[in-house]
Structure 1
Amino acid sequence: MTKNRATSIGLIAILLWSSMVGLIRGVSEGLGPVGGAAAIYTCSGLLLLVTVGFPKLKTFSTRYLIAGCVLFVSYEICLALSLGYAATRQQAIEVGMVNYLWPSLTIAFAILFNGQKARWWVVPGLLLSLLGVSWVLGGKEGLNLVEIKQNIASSPLSYILAFVGAFIWAAYCTVTAKYAKGKNGITLFVLLTGLSLWIQYFSSPQPPMVFSWPVVIKLVMCALSLGIAYAAWNIGILHGNVSLLAVGSYFTPVLSSALASFLLSAPLSWAFWQGACMVCAGSLLCWAATRRS
């Protein structure tokens, strides 16, 4: 496989991941936040068994296996439930934007815990990402503290889960870079996520799962997107242009919001797009701060 082709496949993974916010929310509206997420990750895990295969656990570092399982499962549950519990579709897209603090946080964690060298402008990059999220939460007026408080108060669990999830994913990326040693446990992690959600579904009161053709179609699309994206990303990282893929991934907030707005028929304000661009710019600035001359 040529490098250009592998890079193109990796970029397809970014496109597929960008559809997740809209699709997860769509499925949760029919099957419930927990039931919908459980169905998504179960189907995706089964697909990964076919596309990626089950990992040989004996070759894994114990630290990576334990920490990776805990962090990955925790993050995916935070992400799926934060979208499912959002009060409205527009709010679900805003919650998804909070989650996209993770690229900047990942670089901050790499600096703090993995000895990553960085230039001083990593700090403005982090601040710009935070400002972008605040701008999104401020509604049509942009940075409005009163509106931000009211927005969060209307669905605090969603925003808390998304915010915590961003830190968890940054920690997962840091652990993976340090302990994975080229191993990929994604199939195991996704299956465990589905299992954990089913345990939660059957052990606590949940709304009934109402299947309809639109919901089933979104469930299949979501499972395919998640499963194929991880397989495609693995090819891109192993054989493609990693730097180009990294840059492309930092534009995910804008692409994800556009796809979610289309899939959910939820128009977004100009202030939202301003905030989304700030998040992207902040992430890119953090990334550039770690690049060597």
Structure 2
Amino acid sequence: MNAQDTQTGVGTSGNGHGEAELPARRLRATGIGAVAVLLWASLALFTTLTGRIPPFQLTAMAFTVAGIIGLPLAVRGGWTLARGLPGGAWVLGIGGLFGYHFFYFLALRNAPAVDAGLIAYLWPLLIVVFSALLPGERLRWWHTAGALLGLGGTFLLVTGGQGLHLRSEYLLGYTAAVVCALVWSAYSVANRRYPQVPTNMVAFFCLATAALAAVCHVLFETTVRPEGWQWLAVLVLGLGPVGGAFYVWDHGTKHGDIRLLGTFAYFAPLLSTALLIATGRADPSWPVAVASTLIAGGAMLASADTLRSARRRG
């Protein structure tokens, strides 16, 4: 992905016929952004393969890999471009990447993992809702309904049909999880304000995130040296779900259909569970089957206008 490609326009989105006629360029950008969802689906599997490496240490290592892989293209784009980026772009990029992980880990430290993870995963729904604030975007009922179906499927998937039991002693963790969801959804939607910032610049955001994570690691954790295959797992994380995914997500949120990306994001936990089942690290169950139906149905509902416009062009 090169700088010229990331500077393409968002496309026409407006009322009536214009909204239905999504340009092919926008659909392509949406497809690129959706690759991030596929990459995030492997996060749980490769994280388990890293053993007992502390979260901030793992984040620092993975984002270092992510920054290094994008640095050649970023340098080719010119250090002058990096120095000339608006201050808001730096705050948004670093704040989004590091802020999400910081509050997510804070939530996991102060609340049960299932509860914290589910609350944090409100961000796809929030992306769909916040998209209504963007110029030229209109939030239709089927977009919200599709996102809610995806949330319902994720709830069933994460809780295993056992429900969610919130307790007051975990208030700090729950609050951190809510902030986590707000940070990532706000980052994803506000990213649309900087379509002129090439995706190559994500390399600098990743390196800054790695540095901040390293500071948190020194302050709060004890270093664990990776062994054997754990090094490979860290490398894969940096190439994929905790690194490379942010490059394609950046392109998709800047130039694609943000509402569809928000809805498609609910496929990540579903595909993650399927991958764990396929590798023998989880067992199939009825909640997985029902969640699959809800998430797939929600995605189809949310993409109804896109599917109609595609049929017209065909």
| Correspondence 1:76 to 2:101 | yes
Contact 2:93 2:202 (C-alpha < 8 Å) held by counterparts? no
Residue-by-residue CA offset, 1:159-190 (whole Å, 9 max, x unaligned) = 66555333221101111112343433311221
Alignment-derived partner of residue 62 in structure 2: 40
Within 2, Cα distance between the matches of 1:102 and 1:180? 21
Mapping of residues 44-193 of structure 1, within 5 Å: 44-50=66-72, 52-53=74-75, 56-79=81-104, 99-112=120-133, 114=135, 116-139=137-160, 142=161, 144-145=162-163, 148-149=164-165, 161-184=176-199, 185-193=201-209
| Correspondence 1:18 to 2:41 | yes
**Inter-CA distance 277–84: structure 2 relative to 1 (3 Å threshold):** farther
Residue-by-residue CA offset, 1:79-134 (whole Å, 9 max, x unaligned) = 567679997xxx67x86665554333212101145462122233323432332233
| Cα RMSD for the two superposed structures | 4.3
Where 1:121 maps in the other structure, the secondary structure is helix
Where 1:60 maps in the other structure, the secondary structure is coil
Q: How far does residue 198 in structure 1 lie from its aligned partner after superposition?
A: 0.8
Within 2, Cα distance between the matches of 1:263 and 1:83? 25
Within 2, Cα distance between the matches of 1:44 and 1:38? 10
| Correspondence 1:202 to 2:218 | yes
Where 2:206 maps in the other structure, the secondary structure is helix
Alignment-derived partner of residue 286 in structure 2: 270
Residue-by-residue CA offset, 1:241-271 (whole Å, 9 max, x unaligned) = 979x958666333223322445682335321
**Percent of matched pairs sharing the same residue:** 26
Structure 2 unaligned runs (5+)? 2-23, 310-314
**Inter-CA distance 106–231: structure 2 relative to 1 (3 Å threshold):** closer
Of 220-229 and 183-192, more deviation after overlay is shown by: 220-229
Mapping of residues 270-289 of structure 1, within 5 Å: 270-275=286-291, 277-288=293-304
Contact 2:129 2:139 (C-alpha < 8 Å) held by counterparts? no
Alignment-derived partner of residue 4 in structure 2: none
Within 2, Cα distance between the matches of 1:43 and 1:153? 39
**Inter-CA distance 279–162: structure 2 relative to 1 (3 Å threshold):** farther
Larger radius of gyration: 2
Within 1, Cα distance between the matches of 2:172 and 2:65? 26
Q: TM-score, normalised on structure 2?
A: 0.67
Within 2, Cα distance between the matches of 1:220 and 1:37? 11
Residue-by-residue CA offset, 1:263-283 (whole Å, 9 max, x unaligned) = 682335321442354345435
Structure 1 unaligned runs (5+)? none
